[in-house]
Amino acid sequence: MTRRALLLGAKSPIAQELASRLASRHDYDVILAARNSMQLAPFAADLSLRTGRRAVLLEFDALDTEALARLPEQARAVAGDFDLAVVVFGYLGDQRRAEEQADEALRIINTNYTGAALVLTHLANYLVQRGQPGGIIGIGSVAGDRGRGSNYVYGSAKGALALFLQGLRNRLAGNGIHVLTVKPGFVDTPMTEGLDGLFLVASPERVARDILAAYHRRRNVLYTPWFWRYIMLVIRSIPERVFKRLHL
Amino acid sequence: MGHRLTSGWGLYPTVTAHVHTARLPVHLKQLLAAGGTWLPQGNCRSYGDGCLAPQVVSMLALNHLLDFDPSRGTVRAQAGITLDDLLRFLVPRGWFLPVTPGTKFPTLGGCLAADVHGKNHHLDGTLRNFVEQLDMVLADGSEISCSPQDHPDLFRATLGGMGLTGIIYAATLRLRRIESAFIDMRSVRTGSLAEAVQVFSETHANYPYSVAWIDCLARGRQLGRAIVMLGDHAAPASDQPDRELTVHRSGSVSVPFFLPGPTLNRWTVKAFNTLYYHRQWRRDVRTRVHYDPFFYPLDAIGNWNRIYGRKGFLQYQFVIPFNNGMEVMTDILERIAARGAASFLAVLKTMGPQDGLLAFPMPGYTLALDIRRSDDSIIPFLRELNETVIAAGGRNYLAKDAIMPRDQFERMYPGLEEFRRIKRTVDPEGRFKSTQSARLGLS
């Protein structure tokens, strides 16, 4: 039987690296879901030519909450049944603007949390009713581990998503559906292009490799690259009365 | 968007540039709509300033294969794909690039813009002869496909047009069928330039690939002592059929830092060249080698351009017609040797007929030399050599050039007026511009 993965937010370099690795090393067909998904046609053609696996495009918008319930069925209709769903999409937004304008704050929260949580619910229900082993990978962020003045709107949404994934993992543990929460540090993608103060920037290839290795080992929470687990351990352990005065 | 110091492979000149990366073809239109002048940029493997401009659109993320038709032997790919990446796909499937330069790291788009030639130029011409279609975005944001049949003027001007007619975002190439990734190579040690040229003329019909490595520091009777390398795609060997189409390995030894300026001087280079020349003990050797060391010997040393130090180097490549070509080459080699302008490699090859408006090749000899830029006095010296080249009816290669003045360029390229006419029709406002094109009056 063909194994198939659905990737949401397939324009992100992390999603594309995951799709390439799933196809070339794990014999997966892939469903690439994104806004204006036609723009992914070159990537899909390339992946199919190189790996011989099928790559199907699917239109998807995390902010279109009405349509999210239909997504699993649409994916099945265009490509076939899938056993792995990967939620990669996200929106970093602009913290300063989010402090002034409600629509920016809403867009950050709705993309990173509301949209993600809703679609994860539908995907979980779909995978449960299949009655077969499967998996969910959700991409949070190290920014969700502690609120910081410079990006707490984004951070709170990603933190909430991590909590949601934790609950989902608990709920699905008895169904043979594994849930992996990924917390990447800085990754060299368009999301971080031009930002100041980046350090220890990882490549999307590295992050994708870590994610699939962790998924296949049934890990629950992955920090990638690994040292972020310890960096965040230190950051979380700073007492709040000190932390609140730091400029981070 | 990044603001950074950019240079070609010769590390000279450098230009501080705004580099915008196009991640989707639609970004090309968006960038053009934002105004200003632009240059599409690949992997910066041309040597001089043909790949440089103050504002460039990096094509490196548009690197996807779009179509492969084994029944017709064609591949369609986005322009930012490197030859390295193309070979990884093609070789295991029994196909090869129809024309390849001496490194596999340029992008497809860069190779089309420079209309590159390879060791088979005397038989097959430049890359343009294998292009079925170019898909482009023009200065006004419109998309257009051109071929020898559709918009032939644009097609003719774009191949070899150094990115100045529009942005190639995809191209369709006709490929070469191979049964093996290996090359049957014959290398002949020759004592002089005349002898090397003699070997070329005797073997051309039998070997599609030929090139000679010349020791430029040898003087007098040994001037132009060389190793002539000839090759053809090998037939599959019967013993290990599954290994016959193995692709090249990635990874290389790398020059980790800039060598200090005086590391290369006339004595160290002379020693190297003498060793290289005498490495081959017998006069005529036949071996079977993988395509990687045959076509891309220097790719095995990452950042080899650093060996010339921080000031970089100039690659000087010219072509001159056959008739008095020997005398002119001898003259130029003598003048370079007399100046002690250290060169690791001088590469000689013969070229055949060539179409194209800004095409470099012509029937004759081409010689390419690396010349360290120890100080800027080397530039007037090379411009003097240009005069000798022009007087002999020859020209210099734009993909290598960093120093040519406009008047010399105009005397070298008879297709220039026609190129300018076509550029005016597709880019009336001069939106595509490079540091080189500004110097040469091409934009």
Could you tell me the pLDDT band of residue A44, with boundaries at 50, 70 and 90?
A: very high
Position B262 scores a pLDDT of 61
Q: Which residues of A touch B26 (CB under 8 A)?
A: 39
Decide: A227 and A142 in contact? Cβ < 8 Å: no
Structure tokens at B243: 């290994």
Among the partner residues A11, A49, A193, nearest to B65 by beta-carbon distance? A49
B367 in contact with chain A, both atoms CB, cutoff 8 A: no
Overall CATH class of domain B65-178+415-429: alpha beta
Q: Which residues of A touch B65 (CB under 8 A)?
A: 45-46, 49-50
Please give the residue that has the higher pLDDT: either A82 or B308: A82
Average pLDDT over residues A119-147: 97
Position B310 scores a pLDDT of 87
- Residue of A154, A215, A223, A230 marked active site: A154
pLDDT digits (tens, 9 = 90+) for A93-115: 999 999 999 999 999 999 999 99
Shortest Cα–Cα distance, B66 to chain A (Å): 5
Give the CATH fold of the B182-404 domain. Vanillyl-alcohol Oxidase; Chain A, domain 3 (3.40.462)
Whole-complex ipTM? 0.88
Q: Which residues of A touch B89 (CB under 8 A)?
A: 49-50
List residues bridging with A187 in a β-sheet.
Answer: A202
CB pair distance less than 8 Å for B1 and A194: yes
Q: Which residue has the tokens 């402090």?
A: A99
Position B290 scores a pLDDT of 94
Q: Does the structure show a pLDDT above 80 at B398?
A: yes
Lowest-pLDDT choice from B198-207, B209-218, B395-404: B209-218
Shortest Cα–Cα distance, A173 to chain B (Å): 39
Return all residues near A155 (Cβ < 8 A) that are at least 6 apart: A141, A143, A144, A145, A146, A147, A148
Cα of first residue to Cα of last residue in chain A, in angstroms, is: 49
Decide: A124 and A109 in contact? Cβ < 8 Å: no
CB pair distance less than 8 Å for A45 and B25: no
CB pair distance less than 8 Å for A42 and B23: no
Mean pLDDT of chain B: 92
Average pLDDT over residues B65-82: 98
Q: Which residue of A has its CA nearest to B27?
A: A39
Position B143 scores a pLDDT of 97
Q: Which domains does chain A have, with CATH numbers?
A: 3-243 (3.40.50.720)
Q: Which residues of B touch A50 (CB under 8 A)?
A: 65, 89
Question: Which helix (DSSP H) or strand (DSSP E) does residue B277 occupy?
Answer: helix B266-279
Q: Please choose, from the candidates B343, B339, B335, B347, the residue with its C-alpha nearest in 3D space to the C-alpha of residue B388.
A: B335
Q: Does the structure show a pLDDT above 90 at B88?
A: yes
Q: Which residue in B19, B21, B24, B75 has the most chain A C-beta atoms within 10 A of its own C-beta, making it the best mutation to test that interface?
A: B24
Shortest Cα–Cα distance, A42 to chain B (Å): 6
Q: Does the structure show a pLDDT above 80 at B2?
A: no
Q: Please choose, from the candidates A128, A68, A95, A51, the residue with its C-alpha nearest in 3D space to the C-alpha of residue A196.
A: A95
CB pair distance less than 8 Å for B65 and A39: no
CB pair distance less than 8 Å for B89 and A194: no
A190 in contact with chain B, both atoms CB, cutoff 8 A: yes
CB pair distance less than 8 Å for B66 and A194: no
Distance CA B186, CA B288 (A): 9
Q: Which residues of A touch B3 (CB under 8 A)?
A: none
CB pair distance less than 8 Å for B24 and A45: no
Task: Establish how many alpha carbons lie within 13 A of residue B112's alpha carbon, considering only the half-sphere containing its beta carbon.
Answer: 36
CB pair distance less than 8 Å for B68 and A193: no
What's the whole-model pTM score?
A: 0.92
Distance CA A108, CA A141 (A): 13
Distance CA A163, CA B85 (A): 41
Q: Which residue in A20, A46, A205 has the most chain B C-beta atoms within 10 A of its own C-beta, making it the best mutation to test that interface?
A: A46
Q: Which residues of B touch A39 (CB under 8 A)?
A: 24-26
Among the partner residues B2, B67, B89, nearest to A45 by beta-carbon distance? B67
Q: Please tell me the total number of residues recorded for chain A in this structure.
A: 248
Position A138 scores a pLDDT of 98
Average pLDDT over residues B339-358: 86
Which CA distances in Å does B250 have to A129, B90, B416?
45, 15, 40
Q: Which residue in B1, B3, B18, B23 has the most chain A C-beta atoms within 10 A of its own C-beta, making it the best mutation to test that interface?
A: B23
Q: Which residue of A has its CA nearest to B92?
A: A50
CB pair distance less than 8 Å for A42 and B1: no
Q: Which residue of B has its CA nearest to A189?
A: B23
Position B264 scores a pLDDT of 67
Position B129 scores a pLDDT of 98
CB pair distance less than 8 Å for B66 and A190: no
CB pair distance less than 8 Å for A39 and B24: yes
Lowest-pLDDT choice from A136-150, B132-146, B292-306: B292-306
CB pair distance less than 8 Å for A42 and B25: yes
Q: Does the structure show a pLDDT above 90 at B13?
A: yes
pLDDT digits (tens, 9 = 90+) for B153-194: 999 999 999 999 999 999 999 999 999 999 999 999 998 888
Among the partner residues A11, A45, A193, nearest to B64 by beta-carbon distance? A45
Position A194 scores a pLDDT of 74
Q: Does the structure show a pLDDT above 70 at A232?
A: yes
DSSP class per residue in B65-123 = EEEEETTTTEEEEETT-BHHHHHHHHGGGTEE-SS--S-S-SBHHHHHHTT---TTHHH
B68 in contact with chain A, both atoms CB, cutoff 8 A: yes
Q: Which residues of B touch A193 (CB under 8 A)?
A: 1-2, 21
Distance CA B87, CA B95 (A): 8
Q: Which residue in B4, B65, B81 has the most chain A C-beta atoms within 10 A of its own C-beta, making it the best mutation to test that interface?
A: B65
CB pair distance less than 8 Å for B64 and A46: yes
Residue A154 annotated among the catalytic residues of the structure: yes
Among the partner residues A39, A190, A193, nearest to B26 by beta-carbon distance? A39
Q: Which residues of A touch B2 (CB under 8 A)?
A: 193-194
pLDDT digits (tens, 9 = 90+) for A166-203: 999 999 999 999 999 999 999 988 888 777 778 889 99
Shortest Cα–Cα distance, B320 to chain A (Å): 42
